[in-house]
Structure 1
Amino acid sequence: MSRGLVLFAHGARDPRWAEPFEAVAARARAADPALDVVLAYLELMAPSLLEAGRQLAARGCTDVDIVPLFLGAGGHIRRDLPQLLAQLEAELPTQHWRLHPPVGELPSVINAIAAAALGAAASGRRDLAEPTAPPEADE
């Protein structure tokens, strides 16, 4: 049984927005070379979740985890993602699709964000013109 992992992000018009997500995918690939990792997007970027699922199925992945790279379970996670998952299951019924909660709800991520915020606060004020993070997603 071949394993796959879809990292599912929102997407944005600015391709630089995807850089942190690409870094997550690269680290996941490096940490587990046997795992076929694909980064997919809800909108504005490619591949879509359906395209990513098709890619993994074509490469022989039969057991696929889908991890939303969202901070919380808003409308996209509660409404859009279940519909997309149902389409995947209908189109590719021989694959086992396992949907996980958004990463932002995991205790390890909450702890990491809190630590980063505290570290930023401890380091003092930064110039607001200095870039500190990728552009926000277009919603």
Structure 2
Amino acid sequence: MTAAQTSAETPATPTLILVAHGARDPLWAAPLQRIAAAVCAQAPQQRVRTAFLGMLAPSLEECIAEAIDRGEQDFLIVPVFIAEGGHLKRDLPDRLVALRAQYPQACFTQERALGEAESVVQAMAAHALAQVQRAD
């Protein structure tokens, strides 16, 4: 799945944008693409896009511009980060302020870091424990 692929033609719910930090190595994006593909598999009607805050494409701004060009107006931004740090407290909100000014007809909602969701914490704990048990 490419960064701009969507899983439906007509948006019935907000477009889900999974946003991650980014890295110099393009292979770093593979887990984010796997999450997007899993969303598509679990909810084929859900539009899902991926974006990066730096170093990889598409940027959040490029992602939104393409989505707006396709008629999408309502966006749920889910940061794929372990915790709320500077990027989520300052950088992402600042970018959303600029996007709201550029696209006043659009609606942008920023969720908390994915890693702070209790279900994600429990899944990571279970995985860590499985590694210990496997090492025995």
Aligned residue number for residue 55 of structure 1? 66
Alignment partner of 1:101 is 2:86: no
2:18 corresponds, among 7, 16, 21, to 7
After TM superposition, the runs of 4+ consecutive aligned structure 1 residues lying more than 6 A away are none
Give a deviation string over 1:70-92, Cα, whole Å, max 9, x none: 00011111110011111111111
Counterpart-to-counterpart distance in 1, 2:131 and 2:59: 34
Counterpart-to-counterpart distance in 2, 1:60 and 1:52: 13
TM-score (norm 1): 0.85
Give a deviation string over 1:97-122, Cα, whole Å, max 9, x none: 11100000000000000000000111
Structure 2 alignment gaps of length 5 or more: 1-9
Q: Is the 8 A contact 1:36 1:56 kept in 2?
A: no
Greater RCO, 1 or 2 (C-alpha within 8 Å, sep 6+): 1
RMSD over aligned CA atoms reads 1.3
Alignment partner of 1:68 is 2:42: no
- Larger Rg: 1 or 2? 1
TM-score (norm 2): 0.87
Structure 1 alignment gaps of length 5 or more: 126-139
Letter in 2 for 1:88: L
Paired residue secondary structure (1:52): helix
